Homo-oligomer: A and B are copies of this chain.
Amino acid sequence: MPEQRVRQFLMSAPQTATSTEPLSFNVMEGYLPAQFAPDVTADRELYWQVIDRTTGETLPTTAWALKEAPALPMKSRAEKVGAYPEDAASAVVTIHRPEPFHVYTADFLAKQVWDSTQIYNYLTNDWADDPTRLKDRTYDVAYPETWDHVRQSLGRWLEKHPEVDVVRFTTFFYHFTLAFDDNALEKYVDWFGYSAAVSIPALEEFAAEYGYRMTPEDFVDSGHYNTPLRVPTAKFKTWIDFTARRVAAQAAELVKITHDSGREAIMFLGDNWIGTEPYGPYFPSIGLDAVVGSVGSAATCRMISDIPGVKYTEGRFLPYFFPDVFNPEGDPVGEAVTSWTQARRAIVRKPLDRIGYGGYLSLAMQFPAFIDQVEAIAREFRSIHNRSEGELPANARPVVAILNSWGKLRTWQTYMVAHALWYKQIYSYLGVIECLAGLPLDVRFISFEDVTASDGAILDEVDVLINAGARDTAFSGGREWDDTRLQTLIRAFVGSGGGFIGVGGPTARTTNEGTIFALEDVLGLDMEVSWTLSHTRHFEANEEPHFITADLVGSLDTGEDPGDIVATGADVQLLELREGSVKLAVNQYGEGRAVYLAGLPYSAQNARLLYRACLWAANAQDELDAVLITDNPEVEVAWYPSAKHAFVYNNADSTQRAGIKGLDRIFTTNPTRAAIPSDASASSVLQVELPAYGSRWLDLQDPV
């Protein structure tokens, strides 16, 4: 059975040869010795790859030797780890005759000898000090014996636990990529990574099915491990599809066993969720009743609540009932309120069906004010379900689609590295989906492939495309834009009246030929990478007020600098210019409109700005208040046309006054126009005042 452990492809630390003398190195150098053991028995031709990174060439296996070695010692913090698993080991590669001053690496197949989530718990919660803890080991359901064991165990467990109504799978078979280092610190984390979801049987099955092989380097990707920020190769996308199909088939069997015994089956979104792909084609076939996940923001809330093919969704809110918050100095009430307020924007638009908390109940019980607060949150949550009468609030007309390499598969999952964590390089783009998660817009996620495969037909359903991300990444598209058809289809879309919003480095790829923005003509802008400094620029900011910035108070926050952006179009209007670089611009392109934003960290102001940008890009600026809107970006309003209710909520930590606009429009074509509240002004602006984070339901059939 130890041979049936889950595998993971790893790359050794790069080694520079200094002579032609044999170059030996331990491939486990820098890795947590307790986490992996190199699979030295695996066929070196297929599952190992020693690469001269200076030339890019793979060395023939005759050019190097492999020797198993004992597990390396820890550099520090060995006490956090405790005794190594018994099959921990290392291995030494020796390149017989390297080229001097070339850099070499070894890609190798490693056995996961210790479960990643448990390692995290050991390191975080000092489990090594607890002698009752045993190190969890991983086994792969790709092996028939393991698979039989898993099914039988589940059956036995269900039999033994008739009191269980709902089985929560946490999760299925493969952990997201997570590796620790020899100081027992996190070394690599990719919440979407497939590197830890490999096995020899699966690799062989893939080769048999497709007629070609996934090589170690297909996973290692010169040390990038196919992070979602890399433009994915066709081969890697095929591997995802293959794995997701396999995972869905096996998960469906476990769900069936659960159902057959009369229980519900729900899945936790995280940890060993790789291959489940909740927005992929195979997920509904798993047959889960529900998904539960941790809510870290509006976007992560929508990531759960929008999952198709399940009966209900559940969000687990912050704070966890852990001593780090639930202590005399902590502020569990404050954390509960801000966490709820963040998520509320998303819940209003697409409600979770259930909300919950996690941790030690005994801890929470010691904070009665917290219990009261949660009761208030639950009341507000229920009101959204009750007052809406199951109706979703009205969206403005424009359909907005996020366009990137991943499309629907990564719905509400874009830009993220580790779940909901802040990174300097992503927050300016993550803000885009965080804003959208709470806006009255129909938001979709489409891929470049969707566009080209449908010959642009998919764009018929879309009013505004958003292409947001850093240059040369999967989210801006990078080299995907070398596809001439993609370029022309998007140009045709905008040229014939579509909207295009570019954020950061939209359509930007580093190409030696031509512009950096593939759609430089659409945006009327380009990125200056020091190659066009000789072009004397005379552009100036447009001082006139613009629809998009009409609600902006103070200065525009575009977050990190995506690089210098210069105006190239004859008619592009620059709404914000800083140190010679464009931060916000608009451009008419044929019948359509383009908007550029250097970045969009989440804030109430930026959510409003993006909403206005979407309306403007869709040439729908007259519909600004068509589904109600406030005159204060901190206060949002959701309008339920059938129920004739409006929900107004204050996202700020202070009392806010806001006027609700659009009441006259809502009732214009409606006999109940007289129902506009009597305290609405002549222009039908209804003033409300809400305490910090407060909300209020308005019944617009009768004066409030």
Binding site for B on A (CB under 8 A): 14, 16, 18, 53-56, 99-103, 177, 181, 183, 185-190, 193, 222-225, 227, 229-230, 417-418, 423-426, 470-473, 479, 484, 487-489, 491-492, 495, 510, 512-515, 520-521, 528-536, 538, 561, 564, 579-580, 590
Measured in the bound complex, the distance between the Cα atoms of B487 and A14 in whole Å is: 15
B101 touching A425, Cβ below 8 Å:
no
Q: Given that A425-B530, A492-B100 are known contacts, is A538 also in contact with B185, CB under 8 Å in the complex? A: yes
Q: Are A189 and B534 in contact (CB under 8 A)?
A: yes
* Chain B residues in 8 Å Cβ range of A487: 54, 101
The answer to whether A534 and B190 touch (CB under 8 A), given A16-B521, A53-B514, A425-B564, is yes
Q: Given A18-B495, A100-B492, A187-B536, are A55 and B224 also a contact pair (CB < 8 Å)? A: no
Task: Kindly list chain B residues whose C-beta atoms are within 8 Å of the C-beta of A579.
Answer: 424
Q: A521-B14, A580-B424 are in contact. Are A99 and B510 (CB under 8 A)?
A: no
| Residue in B55, B472, B533 whose CB lies within 8 Å of A229 | B533
CB-CB under 8 A from A535, the residues of chain B are: 187-188
Contacts A14-B521, A528-B425; is A225 near B491 (CB within 8 Å)?
no
Additional A-B contacts beyond A101-B492, A472-B531 (20; CB < 8 A): A16-B491, A16-B521, A18-B495, A100-B492, A101-B489, A102-B484, A181-B538, A183-B538, A185-B536, A188-B535, A188-B536, A189-B536, A227-B532, A229-B530, A417-B534, A424-B564, A425-B530, A426-B533, A470-B529, A561-B561
A520: B residues at CB distance < 8 A: 14
How far in angstroms is the closest Cβ of chain B from A74?
Answer: 15
Report copies per complex: 2
Q: CA–CA, A510 to B231, complex, Å?
A: 14
Identify which of B488, B532, B590 contacts A99 (C-beta below 8 A): B488
B533 and A227 contact, CB distance less than 8 A: yes
- Chain B residue at minimum C-beta to C-beta distance from A531: B224
A488 interface neighbour in B54, B538, B564, B580, Cβ under 8 Å: B54
- The answer to whether B514 and A230 touch across the interface, beta carbons within 8 angstroms, is no
Taking a contact as CB atoms under 8 Å apart, the answer to whether A488 and B561 are in contact is: no
Q: By the criterion CB–CB under 8 Å, are A423 and B533 in contact?
A: yes
Asked if residues B227 and A534 are in contact (CB atoms below 8 Å), the reply is yes
Residues of chain B with a CB closer than 8 A to A530's CB: 229, 425-426, 470, 472-473
The CA of A479 and the CA of B186, in the complex, are separated in Å by 33
What's the nearest-Cβ distance from chain B to residue A508, in Å? 11
Can you report 19 A-B residue pairs in the complex whose CB atoms are below 8 A from each other? A16-B521, A53-B514, A54-B484, A54-B488, A99-B488, A183-B538, A186-B536, A189-B536, A224-B532, A225-B534, A227-B532, A230-B531, A424-B580, A425-B530, A472-B510, A472-B530, A472-B531, A473-B531, A510-B510
* A100 in complex: contacting residue of B227, B488, B529, CB < 8 Å: B488
Contact between chains at B533 and A425 (CB < 8 Å): yes
Identity of the chain B residue whose Cβ is nearest the Cβ of A532 in the assembled complex = B224
CA distance A225 to B473 in the complex (A): 28
* Least distance between A617 CB and chain B CB atoms (Å): 18
Given A473-B530, A488-B102, A492-B101, answer yes or no on A479-B512 (Cβ-Cβ < 8 Å): yes
Closest to A518 in B: B54
Instruction: Establish whether residues A177 and B534, one from each chain, have CB atoms under 8 Å apart when the complex forms.
Output: yes
Q: Is there an interface contact between B534 and A188, defined as CB atoms closer than 8 Å? A: yes
Which residues of B lie under 8 Å from residue A534 when comparing CB positions? 177, 188-190, 193, 225, 227, 417-418
Hey, which chain B residues are within 8 Å of A186, CB to CB?
Answer: 536
- Given the complex of chains A and B, what is the CA–CA distance between A183 and B538 in angstroms? 10
Q: Which 3 A-B pairs have the closest CB atoms?
A: A101-B491, A101-B488, A510-B510
A181 to B471, CA, bound (A): 30
Bound-complex Cα distance A176 to B471 (A): 33
Q: How far is the CA of A411 from the CA of B395 in the complex (A)?
A: 63
B residues less than 8 Å from A479 (CB atoms): 512
**A423 CB contacts on chain B under 8 angstroms:** 533
Q: Which of A190, A424, A514 has the most CB of B within 10 A?
A: A514
- The chain B residue sitting closest to A57, CB to CB, is B484
The complex places the Cα of A102 from the Cα of B14 at a distance, in Å, of 43
CA distance A153 to B677 in the complex (A): 92
Bound Cα distance A426, B479 (Å): 27
A514 CA to B105 CA, complexed, in Å? 11
Q: Which residue of B lies closest to A183 (CB)?
A: B538
How many angstroms from the CA of A520 to the CA of B223 in the assembled complex? 13
Bound together, the chains give a CA A177 to CA B534 distance in angstroms of: 9
Which residues of chain B come closer than 8 Å to A488, judged between CB atoms? 54, 99-102
Of listed A100, A101, A189, residue having the most chain B CB within 10 A: A101
Cα A2 to Cα B224 with chains together (Å): 60
Contacts of A514 in B (CB 8 A): 53, 56, 222-223
CA distance A225 to B54 in the complex (A): 31
| Complex Cα spacing A528 to B229, Å | 12
Chain B residue numbers with a CB within 8 Å of A417 are 533-534
Taken together as a complex, chains A and B put the C-alpha atoms of A561 and B515 apart, in Å, by 22
* A101/B229 contact (C-beta < 8 A), A425-B530, A531-B224, A533-B426 known: no
Instruction: Report B-chain residues with C-beta under 8 Å of the C-beta of A536.
Output: 185-189
Q: Please give, as numbers and ranges, the residues of chain B lying within 8 Å of A492 by CB-CB distance.
A: 100-101
Once the chains bind, are B513 and A56 in contact (CB under 8 Å)?
yes
- A487, A521, A536: residue with the most chain B Cβ atoms closer than 10 Å: A536
A448 to chain B, nearest CB (A): 15
- Closest residue on chain B to residue A177 by CB atoms: B534
Distance from A53 Cβ to chain B, minimum over Cβ atoms (Å): 5
Residues of B within 8 A of A193 (CB): 534
| A227 lies within 8 A of B531 (CB) | yes
Kindly state the separation between the CA atoms of A102 and B590 in the bound complex, as whole angstroms. Answer: 14
Contacts of A230 in B (CB 8 A): 531
Look across to chain B and name the residue whose beta carbon is closest to the beta carbon of A536. B186
When distances are taken between beta carbons in the complex, the residues of chain B under 8 Å from A189 are 534, 536
Query: Beyond A512-B479, A521-B16, is A55–B103 a contact (Cβ under 8 Å)?
Result: no
User: Which interface residue of A417, A418, A520, A533 has the most chain B CB atoms within 10 A?
Assistant: A533
